[in-house]
Structure 1
Amino acid sequence: MEKLRTIFMGTPDFAVPCLDMLVTEGYQVAAVVTQPDRPKGRGQKLAYSPVKEAAIAYSLPVLQPTSLKDDDFYSQIKTLKPDTIIVVAFGQFLPKRLLDLPPLGCINVHASLLPKYRGSAPIHWAIINGETTTGITTMYMDVGMDTGDMILKAEIPILPTDTTGSLHDKLKDLGATVLSETLRKLSTGQVPRQPQNETEATYARMLNRETERIDWHQPATTIHNLVRGLNPWPVAYCKYQNKSWKIWQTKVYNEFEVCSKPGRIAQITKEGIIVETGKGTIEVLEVQPESKRRMRAGECVCGYCLSVGDMFE
């Protein structure tokens, strides 16, 4: 059976395994669509997206429209006559005429168990909220934000040691596996289709600076989950002596200890800094003082003269 003719749309590293799978399994990738090159680094030189780099390595045509509503871009896609369009973390909404173009529909690979955690940051928020499971959902796309009918799901546990970085890497590979099975079913006309239950829907809203700031009045477990959920990007932070300190790694030291001064350094150990919270104590293990390198907390104690009784704001 001849493999489906597809157009692949994606931008970050998360999308690359799905493109790898399409090429490896012999699907006809008529073009790869990714975001325009962006300035990056200290020199602000234009950089390719990870998906563009992969597409070039496979000698695939690359399209980088500034707007998906552009008539010339739509004409290009229409001329390519895809059976389906595959979208993985592309970064823009698809207009309705593009969604309606391929006869087998547009299929999205989403990093949550829909309808939970629709939106732009599902991996971050699953960890921040203390979830113990997450997964991948493939779905038919419509004009809403991750509201289309679901096709397949695969679930994995969120381990207590997981960060957004480690969970991202697990899910990007799982996404390729689930997409592969989805396309096999699509090719045979046996693809399932399940509407989402709107009463169960939640949203993984975009992160902002306020989200990233640690509130020491929160329980130790809540703060620990925030730190895990923001590692390696954008990283949780707090203030110490009017300077921003990034907090890279923590562990719950005593979940139930009664504390009187959230943010107060209660103890200093060889490994880290024990800090009081709204409920329990948390051990800060890895930090990055403002304008300094990332370091183990124990290493910075002497250099910054931290002592018991000092306060993180």
Structure 2
Amino acid sequence: MTDLDPAKRAVVFAYHNVGVRCLKVLLAGGVDVALVVTHEDSADENIWFESVISLCRAEGIPYITPADARAPELLRQVSDARPDLMFSFYYRHMLPADLLAVAPAYNMHGSLLPEFRGRAPVNWAVLHGASVTGASLHEMTVKPDAGAIVSQMEVPILPDDTAFEVFGKVTVAAEQALWRVLPSLLAGTAPRLHNDLSKGGYFGGRKPEDGRIDWSRPAQQVYNLHRAVAPPYPGAFTEVGGVRYVIQRARLPGQGNLVALSLPQGLAVLDGAIVGVCGDGRMLTIAALSADGAPVTAAQLQAHLEGARA
């Protein structure tokens, strides 16, 4: 890709691992990144991902961290950069119409559009038990994730994959999807595939409280919830006797895993191991459980369960 026109200028809105990897693709492709718009890390968030700011500092790329994507000052700064193209790689704010009008803009979304449009697409895909997902580069419009698709890359979701593991695959897929289409994108010959909005659907952001377990649900649904929010996300949790227990690691054994004993739904200790009994009589085997950030042993859980029932 060394023969790409180095005069092509871009403004890049980027954050997270996808932001870092896709920004590196643009640099490797000879794109002149005139400005990066990113976020300051929040002290209230578990920052387990790579830093776009660190990459900008290492590469000498100007960057800004505006609090409001609709601020007139941001529009002026982006316009002054005179971009030929704009890219959004996991930037967390919606870009308004006047900003999108500055130059053709492309967004990298973490699903196979039109599936799982909106927020937290990897987490939602795992929660819904999808067996495949990927990354989609698409034209940006005011309506989110609605523009024509220019490149996609597919990855599998294995039965025991957590959202964190799937996100790693999607990050590589995003890098590959951008690398593959970048020459034609800069040449103005990139494909434009229909993004059929009659399929799939929009999903909102997720909060830690959304990880609350309903043990009356079938075991596969409970397991999917665990996989979707397992660390480094906040985790699936349940409360017993005023204590919030968070599942750190769990597995769902095969279909023959039925509860022969009259165990109540929820956390239990069986043969010295922690399990989670679900509404269809199947159990999750829980390898690691915590409360208030500290590991909980089977003996500690058993003592608490007996005390809560007393």
Task: Give the TM interval when normalised to the shorter protein.
Answer: 0.7 to 0.9
1:284 maps to amino acid: I
Q: Is the 8 A contact 1:266 1:309 kept in 2?
A: no
Q: Is the 8 A contact 1:264 1:309 kept in 2?
A: no
**Residues 168 and 310 (structure 1), Cα distance of their counterparts in 2 relative to 1, 3 Å cut:** farther
1:184-207: CA deviations, max 9, x gaps? 111232211123212213123211
Q: Is the 8 A contact 2:268 2:302 kept in 1?
A: no
Residue 24 (structure 2) pairs with residue 24 (structure 1): no
Once the two structures are TM-superposed, the CA of residue 237 in structure 1 deviates from its matched residue by 0.6
**Which position in structure 1 is the counterpart of 2:10?**
6
Give the match's secondary structure for 1:166. Answer: helix
**Which position in structure 2 is the counterpart of 1:281?**
283
Q: Is the 8 A contact 1:9 1:87 kept in 2?
A: yes
Give the match's secondary structure for 1:253. Answer: coil
Correspondence list, 1:41-60, <5 A: 50-60=51-61
Once the two structures are TM-superposed, the CA of residue 302 in structure 1 deviates from its matched residue by 2.2
Q: Is the 8 A contact 2:86 2:105 kept in 1?
A: yes
Give the match's secondary structure for 2:248. Answer: strand
Give the match's secondary structure for 1:228. Answer: helix
**Residues 20 and 14 (structure 1), Cα distance of their counterparts in 2 relative to 1, 3 Å cut:** same
Please, what is the CA RMSD of the aligned residues?
Answer: 2.5
Structure 1 gaps of 5+ residues are 43-47
Correspondence list, 1:64-143, <5 A: 64-102=65-103, 105-143=104-142
Residue 147 (structure 2) pairs with residue 148 (structure 1): yes
* Aligned equivalent of 2:299, options 277, 294, 302: 302
Q: How many angstroms apart in 1 are the aligned matches of 2:98 and 2:293?
A: 49
1:174 maps to amino acid: A
1:129-178: CA deviations, max 9, x gaps? 11110001010000012111111111110012311111111211221121
2:25 maps to amino acid: M
Once the two structures are TM-superposed, the CA of residue 254 in structure 1 deviates from its matched residue by 5.2
Once the two structures are TM-superposed, the CA of residue 310 in structure 1 deviates from its matched residue by 8.7
2:287 maps to amino acid: L
1:51 maps to amino acid: V
The answer to which of 181-190 and 255-264 deviates more is 255-264
Amino-acid identity (%): 26
Give the match's secondary structure for 1:207. Answer: coil
Structure 2 gaps of 5+ residues are none
Once the two structures are TM-superposed, the CA of residue 309 in structure 1 deviates from its matched residue by 7.9
**Which position in structure 2 is the counterpart of 1:250?**
250
Q: Is the 8 A contact 1:254 1:281 kept in 2?
A: no
Q: How many angstroms apart in 1 are the aligned matches of 2:147 and 2:177?
A: 17
Q: Is the 8 A contact 2:267 2:274 kept in 1?
A: no
1:240 maps to amino acid: V
Q: How many angstroms apart in 2 are the aligned matches of 1:310 and 1:17?
A: 50
Q: How many angstroms apart in 1 are the aligned matches of 2:79 and 2:226?
A: 45
**Residues 169 and 311 (structure 1), Cα distance of their counterparts in 2 relative to 1, 3 Å cut:** farther
**Which position in structure 1 is the counterpart of 2:38?**
34
Give the match's secondary structure for 2:159. Answer: coil
1:276 maps to amino acid: V
Once the two structures are TM-superposed, the CA of residue 308 in structure 1 deviates from its matched residue by 8.7
